[in-house]
Amino acid sequence: MKTVIERIKEITKSGLKKISSKYNFSLDGLDIEIEIPKEEKYGDYSTPVAFNLARSMNINPFHVARDLLETLNKINRFFFKKIDLVPPGFINFFLSRKFLLKELQEISSQKGNYGKADKDREDKIILEFVSANPTGPLNVVSARAASVGDALGNILQFRGKNVFKEYYINDAGGQVDLLGKSVLYRMKQRSGKRVKLPEDCYQGEYLIDVATEIMKDKSFYKKIKNLNEKESIEMIRDYTVKSIVKSQKKDLKAFQVEFDNWYSENRLRKSKAIDEVLDLLKKKGALYDNEGKVYFRSTSFGDEKDRVMVREDGTPTYFCVDSAYHLDKFRRGFTQVIDLWGPDHHGYIPRMKGVLQSMGFTEDSFQVFIVQQVNLLEKNEKIQMSKRAGNFVLMRDLLKDIGKDAARFFFLHRTLNSHLDFDMELARKQSDENPVFYVQYAHARICSIFKQAESQKAKLPKDRSKIKLDLLAENKEEIDLIKKLIDFPDTIREAALKFQPGLITGYLLTIAQLFHKFYTEHRVLTKNKSLTLARLYLVECIKIILKIALDLIGIKAPEKM
Rounded distance between C-alpha atoms, residue 19 and residue 73, angstroms? 13
- Give the domain extent around 60: 4-95
Q: Is residue 294 part of a domain?
A: no
Q: Are residues 41 and 57 in the same domain?
A: yes
Q: Is residue 114 part of a domain?
A: no
Three-state DSSP class for residue 82: strand
Q: Are residues 465 and 422 in the same domain?
A: no
Q: Are residues 479 and 525 in the same domain?
A: yes
Closest CA to 89 of 26, 29, 28, 23: 23
Q: How many domains are there within the chain?
A: 3
Rounded distance between C-alpha atoms, residue 206 and residue 104, angstroms? 53
Q: Is residue 17 part of a domain?
A: yes
Q: Is residue 357 part of a domain?
A: no
Contact 104, 472 (CB under 8 A): yes
* The pLDDT of residue 409: 98
* Beta bridge partner(s), residue 47: 91
The order of strands in the sheet holding 381-382 is 381-382, 374-378, 420-423
Q: Is residue 323 part of a domain?
A: no
Q: Which residues of the chain have pLDDT under 70?
A: 76, 385-391
* The pLDDT of residue 321: 97
Q: Are residues 74 and 177 in the same domain?
A: no
* The pLDDT of residue 391: 62
Rounded distance between C-alpha atoms, residue 446 and residue 173, angstroms? 54
**CATH (domain of 467):** 1.10.730.10
Q: Are residues 383 and 403 in the same domain?
A: yes
Contact 550, 399 (CB under 8 A): no
Q: Which residues have a Cβ under 8 Å from the Cβ of 15 and sit 6 or more positions away?
A: 68, 71, 72, 75
Q: Are residues 90 and 237 in the same domain?
A: no
pLDDT digits 0-9 by tens, 59-105: 888 999 999 999 999 876 789 999 999 988 899 999 999 999 999 99
Q: Are residues 52 and 193 in the same domain?
A: no
pTM score:
0.93
Rounded distance between C-alpha atoms, residue 358 and residue 301, angstroms? 9
The order of strands in the sheet holding 307-310 is 287-290, 293-296, 307-310
b (16+ CB within 10 A) / e for 354-390: bbbbbbebeeeebbbbbbbebebbeeeeeeeebeebb
Q: Is residue 113 part of a domain?
A: no
Task: Detail the DSSP E strand segments found in 411-496.
Answer: 420-423
pLDDT digits 0-9 by tens, 291-326: 999 999 999 999 999 999 999 999 999 999 999 999
Rounded distance between C-alpha atoms, residue 561 and residue 557, angstroms? 10
Domain boundary residue, one of 52, 77, 95: 95
Domain boundary residue, one of 428, 450, 473: 428
* The pLDDT of residue 388: 53
Q: Is residue 62 part of a domain?
A: yes
Rounded distance between C-alpha atoms, residue 143 and residue 130, angstroms? 8
Q: Are residues 491 and 545 in the same domain?
A: yes
Contact 391, 385 (CB under 8 A): yes
What are the C-alpha distances in Å from 163 to residues 149, 157, 469, 500?
11, 6, 39, 16
| DSSP character at residue 315 | P
Contact 306, 294 (CB under 8 A): no
Q: Are residues 389 and 475 in the same domain?
A: no
Contact 409, 505 (CB under 8 A): yes
**CATH (domain of 188):** 3.40.50.620
DSSP state string for 103-165: HHHHHHHHGGGTTPPPP-SS-EEEEE-----TTS--BHHHHHHHHHHHHHHHHHHHTT-EEEE
Q: Are residues 150 and 57 in the same domain?
A: no
Contact 486, 1 (CB under 8 A): no
Q: Are residues 69 and 189 in the same domain?
A: no
3-state per-residue secondary structure call for 319-370: HHHHHHHHHHHHHCCCCEEEEEECHHHHHHHHHHHHHHHHCCCCHHHEEEEE
* The pLDDT of residue 386: 60
Q: Is residue 447 part of a domain?
A: yes
* The pLDDT of residue 120: 80
What number of helices (H) and strands (E) belong to the chain? 21, 14
Rounded distance between C-alpha atoms, residue 60 and residue 50, angstroms? 10
Q: Are residues 169 and 239 in the same domain?
A: yes
Domain boundary residue, one of 95, 117, 142: 95
* The pLDDT of residue 389: 58
Rounded distance between C-alpha atoms, residue 420 and residue 546, angstroms? 25
Q: Which residues have a Cβ under 8 Å from the Cβ of 420 and sit 6 or more positions away?
A: 144, 372, 373, 374, 375, 410, 411, 414
**CATH (domain of 14):** 3.30.1360.70
Contact 492, 403 (CB under 8 A): no
